[in-house]
């Protein structure tokens, strides 16, 4: 018997997140096993009059392929997959990692080749700007273990976070979006963090279920050369199968000039991917009231209520600051009191303290209002 929450999520994906219409083509990319949700999504695409296309992957086989990947193979793969992506109106990515560390021992040179010559042309340059897309996870034993929860407990958390009232969230994000659009200078303070930058004239994008599931953030980008100071992230952050912890950056005129982490060597390899990897492409505030603690999965962690993320790498076309890179790595810092606290100022006005919005018109975004 189908879990009714699966059908509800499939409807959110197809009728709200991607708004599939009659005759439109939708590509579903499924990694590992998420048959119940994928089946429901295919059925809902048909119900909307759309045309579903399905590609399935196994991360164990992806790892084997990646171990010997060279530029020629990556470019051939990208050539064909970019053409397929051009045919699509909608992209739905479902990932159900059976082993979240499956890709952790792929050589750095192969990962760099994959990011530069496959991910960038197929996803960053084609899929992101030219399709209506949504990406999400599927609850399984591996994700429950990563979250230190029982499988049943994690499933309850998953659906609660993914099926939050996005219409209500969208209304609450309106005043925050307006404030950020009027803001010139940002100051962030907290343990190991004292950072300043400008967001003047950079578009501000509220996110409430249209691109990611779960969702709950509002993002922009710093003026590329404006960041100065230091930042220390306190949420574990995965990158191609390795979990980074205690990542710290020092900025000078927008560029990361010093970096450290639990594996500084691996961190430096990522930052050396290309020149844009040492600059920031996104600044965002997380506001999902049902996500309070990190689990080592960026799609969830970047939405944590009371958090922000400052992202090395490529900017979005919707909030451009001129930075181009083959990476886009959402590193997260949680500022709620139990994580050390912190403050965010917009043009010297305190906007959020210890993870809670301080202005009356923004109080609806605080978790206790949900």
Using one digit for the tens of pLDDT, what is the confidence trace for 119-158?
A: 999 998 999 999 999 999 999 999 898 888 999 999 999 9
Question: Based on the domain organization, do 150 and 91 belong to the same domain?
Answer: yes
Residue range(s) defining the domain that contains residue 304: 166-369
Question: Based on the domain organization, do 228 and 157 belong to the same domain?
Answer: no
Question: Based on the domain organization, do 111 and 207 belong to the same domain?
Answer: no
The pLDDT of residue 46 is above 80: yes
Question: Based on the domain organization, do 218 and 344 belong to the same domain?
Answer: yes
The pLDDT of residue 98 is above 90: no
Question: Based on the domain organization, do 53 and 94 belong to the same domain?
Answer: yes
The pLDDT of residue 267 is above 90: yes
Last residue of some domain: 131, 147, 162? 162
When pLDDT is averaged across residues 348-362 and rounded to a whole number, the result is: 97
pLDDT of residue 2: 83
With b for 16 or more beta-carbon neighbours within 10 A and e for fewer, the 223-249 pattern comes to bbbbbebebbbbbbbbbbbbebeebbb
Indicate the average pLDDT of the chain.
Answer: 95
**pTM score:** 0.85
CATH number at residue 88: 3.40.1830.10
pLDDT of residue 242: 87
Question: Based on the domain organization, do 96 and 180 belong to the same domain?
Answer: no
Question: Based on the domain organization, do 215 and 321 belong to the same domain?
Answer: yes
Question: Based on the domain organization, do 121 and 53 belong to the same domain?
Answer: yes
Using one digit for the tens of pLDDT, what is the confidence trace for 328-353?
A: 999 999 999 999 999 999 999 999 99
Lowest mean pLDDT among 126-130, 203-207, 247-251: 126-130
When pLDDT is averaged across residues 313-336 and rounded to a whole number, the result is: 95
pLDDT of residue 241: 77
Last residue of some domain: 132, 162, 192? 162
The pLDDT of residue 179 is above 90: yes
DSSP secondary structure of 39-56? HHHHHHHHHTT-EEEEEE
Q: How many domains are there within the chain?
A: 2
Question: Based on the domain organization, do 185 and 147 belong to the same domain?
Answer: no
Last residue of some domain: 162, 195, 213? 162
Question: Based on the domain organization, do 141 and 245 belong to the same domain?
Answer: no
Using one digit for the tens of pLDDT, what is the confidence trace for 182-195?
A: 999 999 999 999 99
Q: Which residues are registered as beta bridge partners of 31?
A: 57, 95
Residue 266 structure tokens: 């691996």
DSSP state of 316: P
Question: Based on the domain organization, do 178 and 145 belong to the same domain?
Answer: no
Question: Based on the domain organization, do 175 and 157 belong to the same domain?
Answer: no
């Amino acid at each position: 018997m189908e879990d009714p929450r699966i059908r509800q999520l499939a409807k959110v994906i197809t009728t709200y997140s991607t708004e599939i219409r009659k005759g439109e083509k939708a590509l579903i990319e499924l990694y590992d096993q998420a048959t119940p949700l994928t089946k429901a999504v295919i059925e809902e695409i048909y119900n909307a009059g759309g045309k579903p296309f399905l590609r399935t992957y196994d991360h164990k086989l992806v790892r084997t392929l990646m171990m010997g990947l060279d530029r020629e193979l990556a470019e051939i793969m990208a050539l064909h997959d970019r053409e397929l992506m051009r045919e699509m109106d909608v992209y739905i990515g479902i990932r159900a990692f059976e082993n979240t560390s499956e890709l952790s021992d792929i050589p750095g040179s192969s990962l760099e080749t994959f990011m530069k010559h496959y991910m960038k042309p197929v996803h960053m340059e084609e899929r992101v700007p030219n399709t209506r897309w949504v990406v999400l996870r599927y609850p399984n034993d591996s994700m429950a273990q990563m979250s230190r929860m029982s499988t049943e407990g994690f499933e309850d958390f998953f659906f609660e976070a993914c099926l939050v009232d996005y219409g209500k969230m969208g209304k609450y994000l309106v005043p925050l979006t307006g404030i950020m659009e009027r803001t010139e200078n940002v100051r962030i303070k907290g343990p190991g963090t004292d950072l300043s930058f400008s967001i003047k004239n950079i578009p501000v994008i509220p996110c409430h279920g249209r691109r990611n599931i779960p969702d709950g953030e509002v993002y922009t980008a710093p003026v590329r050369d404006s960041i100065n100071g230091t930042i220390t992230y306190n949420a574990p952050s995965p990158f191609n199968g390795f979990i980074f912890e205690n990542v710290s950056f020092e900025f000078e005129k927008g560029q990361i000039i010093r970096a450290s982490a639990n594996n500084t060597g691996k961190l430096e390899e990522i930052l050396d991917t290309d020149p844009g990897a040492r600059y920031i492409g996104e600044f965002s505030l997380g506001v999902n009231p049902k996500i309070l603690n990190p689990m080592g999965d960026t799609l969830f962690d970047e939405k944590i209520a009371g958090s922000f993320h400052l992202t090395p790498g490529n900017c979005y076309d919707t909030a451009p600051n001129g930075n181009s890179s083959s990476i886009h790595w959402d590193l997260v810092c949680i500022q709620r009191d139990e994580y050390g606290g912190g403050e965010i100022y917009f043009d010297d006005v305190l906007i959020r303290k210890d993870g809670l919005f301080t202005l009356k018109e923004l109080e609806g975004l605080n978790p206790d209002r949900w």
